[in-house]
Amino acid sequence: MCSACDTGQPAAAALIQFFADGGGRDGSGAEQGARLMWAWAREGLATYGWCSEEGPPS
């Protein structure tokens, strides 16, 4: 992973752990996966000094 997506960062680590624990194999964890993905994307944006004004999809 690039430095922006580094697994040592909290959101990236949580997303990877979600998939390692079997998240995403069925639809039951879709909402949690979407929130983790959104947090990871925002973390990556912040690495480059960017931010998002929108929240995760409702």
Residue 1 above 60 pLDDT?
no
Q: What is the pTM of this model?
A: 0.73
Q: Which residue has the higher pLDDT, 32 or 54?
A: 32
Average pLDDT over residues 4-16: 77
Integer Cα distance of 36 and 14 in angstroms: 7
- Tell me, what's the pLDDT at 24? 81
Name the residue ranges covered by the structural domains of the chain: 7-14+28-50
